[in-house]
């Protein structure tokens, strides 16, 4: 079979979902979605509660597997990746409920970033060399809480605990960071600070960052690309600078809570013809509205 240029896999995607569907019982949490995210890109994932943001991030990070379709991380099929070491070297996760061990000292939680590299025995023994300890302290200094290293983690505020989760990612040092509503529990000033920190850390090291956010005011300032998810479908995929109030009002519109019953977004995220953004919506009662896409990877 002759391979043409168009058949060649496109290089340089940190993440690639191809025809991915993920269901939970009767619920389609993400419906036949195809999307590529380039190395170094900063992507905001927006959408109402239950829209599929966590499912999307968990699929990108190999936390869950698709029912249908394929997931590639840094060009490797998810099924071929070793769950501990190899996956941890590629993807770090800041979870919606940051999964720190509350009764342990902060430093312990930070060094858990090494779990993927260490293997179970060493992790259980927690044999931390002086060099590794320094790495942990440096990470805590980078996120501004080096004085908390020996503090019991549960004594820290929500924002500080979120910084511990970010320090752990620094120690883990993966190629991409996935953050699921990293600022959900923070006041606006601390939320802005934390998003800035995440974005800076990603930019300093050329890491890809994909973050789900309810705080949409940060999108235009800090991100390159915005993906809107609703009822498991991609509603838009556009440069972050193009996110506007009308788009957001539409995305979060309560009256449209379940309008995807018979709709497909096959090929979503690949961009419309020529990468153009589909602009005007047709009048009510005609063809269903088309999602807006503009490929930015
Ligand atoms: N483990 C699960 N078991 C059953 N249903 C699930 C599970 N995880 C997600 N779902 C369902 O899949 C859909 C998408 O959920 P998901 O958690 O991805 O949404 P979300 O956009 O992250 O919402 P939120 O903003 O509230 O965090 C929802 O209808 C949810 O109820
Ligand atoms: Mg979620």
State residue 121's pLDDT score.
Answer: 55
Q: Is 216 exposed, middle or buried (0-12, 13-18, 19+ CB in 10 A)?
A: middle
If you take atom 26 of ligand 1, which residue's CA is the nearest one?
49
Ligand 1 centroid, distance to 50 Cα (angstroms): 5
Residue 111: the pLDDT is 86
Q: Could you tell me the pLDDT band of residue 99, with boundaries at 50, 70 and 90?
A: confident
How far is Cα 210 from Cα 159, in angstroms, rounded to an integer?
Answer: 19
Interval between CA 52 and ligand 1 midpoint (Å): 6
With 0-12 / 13-18 / 19 or more C-beta atoms within 10 angstroms meaning exposed / middle / buried, residue 59 is buried
Q: Which residue has the higher pLDDT, 259 or 220?
A: 220
Q: What is the band of 79 on the pLDDT scale with cuts at 50, 70, 90?
A: very high
The H helix count followed by the E strand count for the chain is 10, 11
Distance (angstroms) between ligand 1 centre and the Cα of 22 equals 11
Strands 225-230 and 233-239: antiparallel
Mutate to test the pocket of ligand 1, among 44, 52, 96 (most ligand atoms within 8 A of CB): 52
- Judge whether residue 273 has pLDDT over 50: no
**CA nearest neighbour of 183 among 219, 148, 139:** 219
Q: Which ligand is nearest to the CA of 30?
A: 1
Q: What is the residue whose two structure tokens read 């956010």?
A: 213
Dist. CA 8 → ligand 1 center (Å): 35
pLDDT of the residue at 159 = 87
In this prediction, residues 290-297 reach a mean pLDDT of 54
pLDDT at site 274: 31
The pLDDT of residue 188 is: 84
> Which residue has its alpha carbon closest to ligand 1 atom 3?
24
Measuring from atom 30 of ligand 1, which residue has the nearest CA? 50
Q: Give me the pLDDT at residue 11, please.
A: 61
| Residues flanking ligand 1, CB < 6 Å | 24, 27, 29, 47, 49-55, 96
* Ligand 1 nearest atom to the CA of residue 30, by list position: 14
Q: Rounded mean pLDDT of 270-292? A: 38
Note the ligand closest to the C-alpha atom of 180.
Answer: 2
pLDDT for the residue 149: 94
- Candidates 213, 209, 157; CA nearest to 184 is 213
What distance in angstroms lies between residue 132's CA and the mean position of ligand 2's atoms? 33
Counting ligands in written order, the one closest to the CA of 227 is 1
> Looking at ligand 1, which atom is closest to the CA of residue 232?
14
Distance CA 220, CA 228 (A): 14
Sign of CA dihedral 246, 247, 251, 256: positive
Q: What is the pTM for the complete model shown?
A: 0.82
Residue 23 or 115, more confident: 23
- Kindly state the average pLDDT of the residues 29-53: 96
Return the number of other C-beta atoms located less than 10 Å from residue 173's C-beta. Answer: 17
Q: Which tens digit of pLDDT belongs to each residue from 106-143? A: 988 888 887 666 555 555 555 567 777 889 999 999 99
pLDDT band at 186 (very low <50, low <70, confident <90, very high): confident
pLDDT digits (tens, 9 = 90+) for 224-250: 999 999 999 999 999 999 999 999 999
Q: Measure 57 CA to ligand 2 centroid, in angstroms.
A: 9
- 94 - beta bridge partners? 179
CA distance 60 to 13: 12
Which fold would CATH assign to domain 13-74+176-293? Answer: Rossmann fold (3.40.50)
Sign of the C-alpha dihedral, residues 66, 68, 71, 77? positive
Q: Dihedral through CA 228, CA 234, CA 235, CA 237, nearest 10?
A: 60
**pLDDT recorded at residue 10:** 55
Q: How far is the CA of 213 from the centre of ligand 2 (A)?
A: 9
């Amino acid at each position: 079979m002759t391979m043409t240029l168009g058949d060649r896999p496109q290089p340089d995607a940190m993440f690639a979902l191809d025809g991915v569907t993920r269901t939970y019982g009767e619920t389609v949490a993400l419906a036949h979605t195809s999307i590529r995210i380039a190395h170094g890109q900063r992507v905001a994932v927006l959408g109402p509660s239950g829209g599929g943001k966590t499912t999307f991030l968990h699929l990108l990070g190999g936390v869950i597997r698709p029912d249908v379709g394929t997931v590639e991380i840094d060009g490797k099929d998810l099924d071929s990746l070793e769950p501990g070491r190899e996956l941890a070297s590629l993807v770090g996760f800041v979870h919606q409920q940051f999964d720190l061990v509350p009764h342990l000292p902060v430093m312990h939680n930070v060094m858990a970033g090494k779990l993927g590299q260490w293997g179970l025995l060493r992790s259980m023994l927690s044999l931390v060399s002086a060099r590794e300890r320094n790495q942990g302290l440096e990470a805590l200094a980078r996120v501004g809480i080096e004085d908390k290293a020996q503090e019991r983690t549960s004594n820290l505020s929500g924002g500080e605990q979120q910084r511990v989760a970010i320090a752990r990612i620094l120690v883990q040092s993966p190629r991409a960071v996935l953050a699921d509503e990293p600022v959900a529990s923070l006041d606006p000033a601390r939320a802005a600070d934390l998003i800035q920190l995440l974005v800076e850390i990603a930019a300093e090291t050329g890491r890809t960052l994909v973050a789900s956010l309810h705080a949409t005011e940060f999108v235009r300032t800090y991100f390159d690309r915005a993906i809107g998810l609703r009822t498991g479908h991609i509603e838009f995929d556009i440069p972050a600078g193009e996110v506007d109030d009308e788009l957001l009002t539409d995305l979060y519109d309560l009256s449209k809570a379940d309008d995807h019953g018979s709709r497909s977004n096959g090929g979503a995220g690949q961009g419309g013809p020529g990468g153009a953004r589909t602009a005007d919506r047709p009048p009510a009662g005609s063809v269903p509205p088309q999602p807006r896409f503009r490929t930015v990877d």
